[in-house]
């Protein structure tokens, strides 16, 4: 009975630890797609889970230990697309695009 319990525990532990590899990275962006009325640089922030590398517009961004990021992006007036890209431990990728309109009118 003890052998069965130990084997079952090892199997469940392996499944639990491998779910991060199977699921891949996730990206949560705090800002939604919206019209932004500002002239200053745009600040984007959010959380990335199960990722070894993270990029905004193909530029590597370093995360805190909890996977949090906050980045100032230089943007010009008009339509802007921001690309968020995470690479997981197993090589799985997750990409999110945000379309934002920057207006100089207030």
- pLDDT (tens, 9 = 90+) of the chain, 106 residues, equals 778 777 788 877 776 666 656 778 999 998 767 667 666 678 899 999 999 999 999 999 999 999 999 999 888 888 888 999 999 888 889 999 988 888 776 5
Map out the domains of the chain with their CATH numbers. 2-103 (2.60.40.10)
Q: How far is CA 66 from CA 3, 58, 99, 103, in A?
A: 37, 22, 26, 33
What does residue 40 show for φ and ψ, rounded to 5 degrees? -85, 170
């Amino acid at each position: 009975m003890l052998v069965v319990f130990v084997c079952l525990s090892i199997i469940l532990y392996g499944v639990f630890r491998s779910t991060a590899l199977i699921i891949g990275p996730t990206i949560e962006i705090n800002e939604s797609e919206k019209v932004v009325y500002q002239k200053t640089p745009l600040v984007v922030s959010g959380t990335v889970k199960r990722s070894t590398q993270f990029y905004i517009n193909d530029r590597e961004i370093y995360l805190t230990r909890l996977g949090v990021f906050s980045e100032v992006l230089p943007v010009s007036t008009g339509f802007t697309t921001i690309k968020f890209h995470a690479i997981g431990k197993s090589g799985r990728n997750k990409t999110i695009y945000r379309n934002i309109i920057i207006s100089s009118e207030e």
